[in-house]
Amino acid sequence: MIEQPMFFAGNPIYRASNERRDPDWVEQALNAESSCFLPVSKLEFPATTGREGKLLWGDRSWLKASTKPEEPIFLGNFKGRAHFAFDVADPRLALDSLGLGGMASFLGLRDLASVLSSEEAAIAAQARSLMEWHARHPFCSGCGNRSIHRNGGSSRHCPKCQTDHFPRLDPVAIVLVVKGDKCLLGRSGRFGRNLYSALAGFIEYGESIEEAARREIKEESGIEVGEVRYVASQPWPFPYSLMVGCYGEALSETIVLDKEELADARWFSKEHVKKALAGEATDLSVPGKLAIARHLIESWVGGGSF
């Protein structure tokens, strides 16, 4: 069983779900001197760089760099302070207007996550997913009218047809299939030549996690899977998925590859995977520590199984 927390999990923010329904409460938080504001440019964040990177939060005066007419998105309260995220367009101009030119850079979350504290990485993951959801859903899906922020940006509201719209997670089953002392790993055409990972796919309507896991593995690799055991989950803010990590027990061994989904899939022995984790395999590399696939693989190599 995986014991260490996943990257992007462990968000310490209190989301104030009930309080943020009150527009006056949100307005007070927005105007409070103690509130913190995080500028976001093209889903990148301002941060100091180095071994211990840190997100750069400012006070309300930072909103002068905002490029959107909508109010900042309320993330929640942390350490007695309200935290908001807001849009800026040009990262260079934003840094200059905030007096941070030459002192910080806007960086993507994949680059930042490994140097941020686990708390800040989780907060940034929340902010990234919310900001992208708002950017992708500016119009009402019912009538086509432009919608507006509601409840501090935790939802959108259509003034024309009075429909409320809420962010939706995309659940993904990611499965390390094992058979005895071997595990099944696949390589996407987007991956590097030797990078293999656990197989994954979106959970569809009318499916349980276990059913989705079996279907995806069968479709992509031709392998029949019996028992499926949940291991751990991970928020994955690219853009707004929830990775549901499982072990799957293989009932067959012959791989029949779906070449539209995978460039390759193979069985790898535990010893082979151990070498890859140690960086000693020339023909196999595995995902980095940001990904739940890495944790599934490490846990299995360390003795985790059914």
| Distance, C-alpha 230 to centroid of its chain | 19
Reading the chain (306 residues) residue by residue, the pLDDT tens digits are 455 578 999 999 999 999 999 999 999 999 999 999 999 999 999 987 656 678 999 999 999 999 887 889 999 999 999 999 999 988 888 898 888 888 888 999 998 887 888 899 999 999 999 999 999 999 999 999 999 999 999 999 999 999 999 999 999 999 999 999 999 999 998 887 899 999 999 999 999 999 999 999 999 999 999 999 999 999 999 999 999 999 999 999 999 999 999 999 999 999 999 999 999 999 999 999 999 999 999 999 998 655
Q: What is the rounded (10 degree) CA torsion for 184, 190, 195, 198? A: -30
Q: Output the pLDDT for position 73.
A: 97
pLDDT score of 4: 59
What DSSP element (H or E) covers 83? strand 81-87
SS3 state of residue 125: helix
pLDDT at res. 49: 62
| Distance in angstroms (rounded) separating the CA atoms of residues 265 and 279 | 20
Q: How many CA atoms lie within 13 A of 218 on its CB side?
A: 10
The string of DSSP letters for 188-232 reads -TTS-TTB-B-EEEEPPTT--HHHHHHHHHHHHH---EEEEEEEE
- Find the helix or strand (DSSP H, E) in which 298 lies: helix 292-301
Q: Are 258 and 216 in contact (CB under 8 A)?
A: no
- Cα–Cα distances (Å) from 154 to 37, 107, 143, 199, 253, in that order, read 16, 24, 20, 32, 46
Nearest to 38 by CA among 102, 81, 101: 81
